[in-house]
């Protein structure tokens, strides 16, 4: 997928936004060709230097940018030249989807194997042991705790897991 096509994809835009946040999005959304310094990006995008550096470091941590250092012979100052490498985005997104799948599977199992009680006034949920410790009364408001049916939540998790299995081409029985 071409560099420009990647940046037009709303899923990738959302992914970059989640990584670098709103202040770093101008940095992530307009990668220059070739190498660039953080100072050049800051000036070009009219952003605070610290915001640019934060975004660059996050991109670096996620294998979406690299840098090389040059030392000024006279002053001894280091200059970092940054290069954007968005070819890794599809692979990173797939890894994120696998992490989501694993976490959702764990959560579904937790929901299936625990009994919950709810304070309908405070909207606080308790596991059975906690509810029993509190005498089945909400510790915040004193209202009785009601048994909570989480079947709709588990069904929703099942649906999401099925969709992820289709997307990732995995068999739910093997996962």
pLDDT tens-digit readout, 83-110: 998 888 888 888 988 999 999 999 999 9
Residue spans per domain, the chain = 3-84, 90-168
Predicted confidence at residue 9, as pLDDT, reads 79
* pTM for this predicted structure: 0.67
Cα dihedral sign, 139-143-149-153 = negative
pLDDT in tens, 7-57: 777 888 888 999 999 999 999 887 778 899 999 999 999 999 999 999 999
Predicted confidence at residue 1, as pLDDT, reads 43
Reference 154, options 162, 166, 145, 146; nearest CA is: 162
**Structure tokens, 92:** 């990173």
pLDDT in tens, 107-164: 999 999 999 999 999 999 999 999 999 999 999 999 999 999 999 999 999 999 999 9
Neighbouring C-alpha atoms within 13 Å toward the C-beta of 154: 13
* Domain 3-84 coded CATH 3.30.470.10: no
Helix (H) or strand (E) holding 170: none
Residue 173 has pLDDT above 80, yes or no: no
* Residues forming a β-bridge with 84: 65
d(CA 24, CA 18): 10
Predicted confidence at residue 86, as pLDDT, reads 86
Give, as one character, the DSSP assignment of residue 32.
P
Q: Is 131 exposed, middle or buried (0-12, 13-18, 19+ CB in 10 A)?
A: buried
Predicted confidence at residue 5, as pLDDT, reads 66
The total of other beta-carbon atoms located within 10 Å of residue 118's CB is: 19
């Amino acid at each position: 997928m071409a560099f420009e096509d990647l940046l037009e994809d709303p899923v990738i835009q959302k992914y970059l936004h989640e990584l670098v946040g709103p202040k770093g999005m101008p940095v992530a959304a307009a990668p220059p060709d070739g190498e660039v310094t953080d100072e050049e990006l800051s000036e070009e995008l009219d952003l605070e230097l610290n915001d640019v550096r934060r975004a660059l470091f996050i991109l670096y941590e996620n294998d979406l940018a690299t840098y090389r250092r040059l030392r000024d012979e006279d002053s001894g100052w280091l200059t970092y030249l940054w290069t954007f490498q968005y070819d890794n985005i599809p692979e990173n997104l797939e890894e994120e989807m696998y992490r989501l799948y694993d976490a959702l599977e764990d959560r579904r199992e937790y929901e299936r194997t625990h009994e919950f009680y709810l304070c309908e006034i405070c909207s606080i949920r308790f596991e059975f042991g906690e509810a029993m410790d509190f005498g089945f009364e909400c510790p915040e408001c004193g209202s009785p705790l009601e048994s909570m049916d989480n079947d709709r939540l588990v069904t929703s998790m099942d649906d999401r897991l099925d969709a992820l299995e289709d997307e990732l081409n995995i068999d739910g029985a093997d996962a």
